[in-house]
Amino acid sequence: MDNKQEKPQTPETVKPEDGIKAENINNLREQMLLEIQQLEFTAIELNLYLDTHPDDQQALNLYNSVVPQLRQCIEAYEQRFGPLFHFGMSTSRQPWQWICSPWPWDL
Protein backbone atom coordinates (compact mmCIF):
# COMPACT_ATOMS: atom_id res chain seq x y z
CA MET A 1 0.00 0.00 0.00
CA ASP A 2 1.47 3.31 -1.06
CA ASN A 3 0.91 5.76 1.74
CA LYS A 4 3.34 8.36 0.44
CA GLN A 5 1.82 11.79 0.30
CA GLU A 6 2.24 14.20 -2.57
CA LYS A 7 5.24 16.42 -1.96
CA PRO A 8 3.94 19.93 -1.37
CA GLN A 9 5.13 22.65 -3.74
CA THR A 10 6.89 25.72 -2.42
CA PRO A 11 4.34 28.49 -1.95
CA GLU A 12 5.28 31.46 -4.11
CA THR A 13 4.39 33.96 -1.41
CA VAL A 14 6.76 32.59 1.20
CA LYS A 15 10.41 33.43 0.81
CA PRO A 16 12.83 30.97 2.37
CA GLU A 17 14.20 32.54 5.54
CA ASP A 18 17.88 32.36 6.50
CA GLY A 19 18.78 28.84 7.45
CA ILE A 20 15.26 27.52 6.97
CA LYS A 21 14.47 25.43 3.92
CA ALA A 22 11.40 26.26 1.85
CA GLU A 23 10.07 22.80 2.53
CA ASN A 24 10.20 23.41 6.29
CA ILE A 25 8.29 26.66 5.89
CA ASN A 26 5.67 24.79 3.93
CA ASN A 27 5.52 22.14 6.62
CA LEU A 28 5.08 24.87 9.20
CA ARG A 29 2.22 26.37 7.16
CA GLU A 30 0.46 23.03 7.03
CA GLN A 31 1.15 22.34 10.68
CA MET A 32 -0.33 25.71 11.71
CA LEU A 33 -3.29 25.16 9.37
CA LEU A 34 -3.89 21.73 10.87
CA GLU A 35 -4.05 23.24 14.34
CA ILE A 36 -6.66 25.73 13.09
CA GLN A 37 -8.57 22.96 11.34
CA GLN A 38 -8.62 20.86 14.51
CA LEU A 39 -9.85 23.69 16.72
CA GLU A 40 -12.38 24.80 14.12
CA PHE A 41 -13.66 21.25 13.81
CA THR A 42 -14.29 21.22 17.56
CA ALA A 43 -16.16 24.50 17.16
CA ILE A 44 -18.23 23.23 14.20
CA GLU A 45 -19.18 20.04 16.01
CA LEU A 46 -20.16 21.88 19.21
CA ASN A 47 -21.99 24.54 17.16
CA LEU A 48 -24.23 21.96 15.47
CA TYR A 49 -24.83 20.22 18.81
CA LEU A 50 -25.74 23.52 20.49
CA ASP A 51 -28.19 24.31 17.67
CA THR A 52 -30.37 21.47 18.95
CA HIS A 53 -29.23 21.56 22.63
CA PRO A 54 -29.10 25.31 23.39
CA ASP A 55 -29.40 24.75 27.17
CA ASP A 56 -26.40 22.44 27.54
CA GLN A 57 -24.13 24.49 29.80
CA GLN A 58 -21.16 22.11 29.53
CA ALA A 59 -21.17 22.16 25.73
CA LEU A 60 -21.54 25.93 25.72
CA ASN A 61 -18.58 26.34 28.09
CA LEU A 62 -16.50 24.12 25.86
CA TYR A 63 -17.53 26.09 22.76
CA ASN A 64 -16.69 29.39 24.41
CA SER A 65 -13.32 28.04 25.53
CA VAL A 66 -12.42 27.03 21.95
CA VAL A 67 -13.13 30.51 20.51
CA PRO A 68 -10.11 32.37 21.99
CA GLN A 69 -7.79 29.42 21.18
CA LEU A 70 -8.98 29.43 17.57
CA ARG A 71 -8.58 33.21 17.29
CA GLN A 72 -5.05 32.98 18.66
CA CYS A 73 -4.06 30.29 16.15
CA ILE A 74 -5.59 32.23 13.25
CA GLU A 75 -3.74 35.38 14.30
CA ALA A 76 -0.42 33.55 14.53
CA TYR A 77 -0.97 31.99 11.10
CA GLU A 78 -1.94 35.29 9.49
CA GLN A 79 1.13 37.03 10.94
CA ARG A 80 3.31 34.58 9.05
CA PHE A 81 1.35 33.54 5.99
CA GLY A 82 -1.11 36.36 5.25
CA PRO A 83 -4.87 36.71 5.60
CA LEU A 84 -7.16 33.69 5.99
CA PHE A 85 -10.25 35.90 5.67
CA HIS A 86 -11.34 38.62 3.23
CA PHE A 87 -14.02 41.35 3.32
CA GLY A 88 -12.67 43.24 6.30
CA MET A 89 -12.08 40.28 8.60
CA SER A 90 -8.26 40.35 8.30
CA THR A 91 -5.73 43.10 7.61
CA SER A 92 -3.10 42.91 4.85
CA ARG A 93 0.45 44.05 4.39
CA GLN A 94 1.56 45.88 1.23
CA PRO A 95 0.95 44.76 -1.50
CA TRP A 96 -2.56 43.31 -1.08
CA GLN A 97 -1.87 39.77 0.17
CA TRP A 98 -5.29 38.18 -0.24
CA ILE A 99 -4.67 37.23 -3.87
CA CYS A 100 -1.34 35.52 -3.16
CA SER A 101 -0.94 31.79 -3.79
CA PRO A 102 -1.24 29.12 -2.58
CA TRP A 103 -5.01 28.67 -2.73
CA PRO A 104 -6.50 25.84 -0.68
CA TRP A 105 -6.70 23.41 -3.61
CA ASP A 106 -2.98 23.86 -4.35
CA LEU A 107 -1.69 23.17 -0.86
Partner 1 sequence: MWVYQKKLEYPVRVSGPNPRLAKVIITQYGGPDGELSASLRYLNQRYSMPTDKARGLLTDIGTEELAHMEIVATIFYKLTRGVSPEQMQAAGLGGHYAQHNHALFWSDPEGVPWIAAYVQATGDPITDLTEDMNAEQKARSTYEHLIHLSDDPCVTDVLRFLRQREVVHFQRFGEALNDLQGFLSSKKVF
Site for partner 1 in 66-105 (CB under 8 A): 83-87, 89, 98, 103-105
For 12, residues 6+ apart whose C-beta sits below 8 A from its C-beta are: 100, 101, 102
Any contact of residue 62 with partner 1 (CB under 8 A)? no
Distance of closest approach, residue 80 Cβ to partner 1, in angstroms: 14
Distance of closest approach, residue 86 Cβ to partner 1, in angstroms: 6
Considering only 37, 61, 64, 72, the residue that binds partner 1 (CB under 8 A) is 37
Considering only 40, 56, 59, 92, the residue that binds partner 1 (CB under 8 A) is 40
Site for partner 1 in 11-30 (CB under 8 A): 30
Alpha carbon separation from 106 to 10, 30, 93, 101, 103 (Å, rounded): 10, 12, 22, 8, 5
Residue 98's closest CA among 83, 88, 87? Answer: 83
Any contact of residue 54 with partner 1 (CB under 8 A)? yes
Rg of the chain over Cα atoms, rounded to whole angstroms, equals: 17
Distance of closest approach, residue 96 Cβ to partner 1, in angstroms: 13
Q: Which is nearer to partner 1, 19 or 93 (CB)?
A: 93
State residue 90 phi and psi, 5-degree precision.
-140, 150
